[in-house]
Chain A
Amino acid sequence: MNLTLKIWRQKNSKEAGNFHTYQVPDISPDMSFLEMFDVLNERLIEKGEEPIAFDHDCREGICGMCSMYINGQPHGPWKGTTTCQLHMRAFKDGDTITVEPWRAKAFPVIKDLVVDRSAFDKIQAAGGFISVNTGNAQDANNIPVPKDDADKAFAAAACIGCGACVAACKNSSAMLYVSAKVSQFALLPQGRVERTERVLNMVREMDVQGFGNCTNTGSCEAECPKEISLENIATMNREYLMANLKK
């Protein structure tokens, strides 16, 4: 396949960026999207040009590090798929593909397609945990959990923290991300002890970090590579309301 790529280049967080156009011939449909980037970068280095910086690590769709906004969609055209698992057979010979970084006030660009997502870690540090020290735990089977609740908690916990939900949202809201963690713990008996503090602290930190509000457009769910459900946002809103009533 022969492709034209329009890629956002930005030297660092201080300088302005712009699009560069690259011709990328001889691409196999069996390559992953990031392998196509590897090939392009090798060619750029051989020509004495600067390769394109992008985040990636596991290339198995689980670490959440890859983060490209491809033709107007976070992680590109395949549903429920991260950029690293997107394969070139999703495109046609002769296609022009536009690639940008995540765009959000809370995710400043570091270089090219690399953004700073440390705001997500700060939200977790504010309340995304169960306060149990090592060594205090009782036998695991002393806490039975209905299978349905356990399955739902798992489905919420499958979030990979990539930030596609924020990138997809016109308000740059982090509601899907935050609600997934709040729901996971709200569904489990172990998590209920701290439910009030947790939701209040995480929502407060989410606002502090500069994420926008949720206006229920649902684009986060549509673009989430792990198909995290909007129901989590409803759960979080309920938790938040109950917490405020208790306060």
Chain B
Amino acid sequence: MNVISFFEKNGMITSFLIIAIIMLIAEQISTRLLHKKIPGSAIAILLGLLLAYYGGMITGGEKGIADLPLFSGFKLVGGSMFRDFCIVSTALGVSFPVMIQAGKAGIISLALGLVVSFVVGICVGLAFGYQDAESLATIGAGTLTFIVGPVTGSALGASSDVIALSVATGVVKAIVVTVFTPLVATKIKLDNPHAAMVFGGLMGTTSGVAAGLAATDQKLVPYGALTATFYSGLGCLLCPSVFYLALKALM
């Protein structure tokens, strides 16, 4: 009997067990070693990222640790379907008055988040010697999220290595948001639903916002998700069209 293929066959259940063990280890590190200075959930997410790096190193695949047969269930449990389903389920804790009151700030942060990301990406692209509008727009789009980058790049006909750069930029953004949000949350007053909606709109990367807020305060998750969910879609709309044309006009 092949043990690995047994676990692969029962992939989803196996991943539940492995995640439970990861959570347990993270919780122990948090209470025993760090005296709860960093929450267990933040450490668990960090452990997850380390596993992802390790998995990528061994297999050379794109799905982190999920490319190992033993961890294949992570593709499903850690995929966008489960993630979005869980985010939606947190909505019952949402307060409508708070949401409506923060609506205006949320929309402003969304617009600003899209524009600022694109501009920052272009500035960095220029600093690294890229001159053509197509490459710059693709890198700018990748600075929005790792979904917007390749969508924009293929729409504008950018080269495949520039598209790879844009995806990598989006992934770095998601990871940096994940790791640093719980650490800077108090400094940037990210401790209320209003700020969480602004945060979701500014950052936009659903993976990063979801994980960063989860590690900070789970109650804030639905508010951040509410604005972030519009970000990638709007980015895919604006980057290859309005933003690209504006960039071309300026060059």
Q: Do A and B come from one complex?
A: no
B interface residues (Cβ-Cβ under 8 A, vs A): none
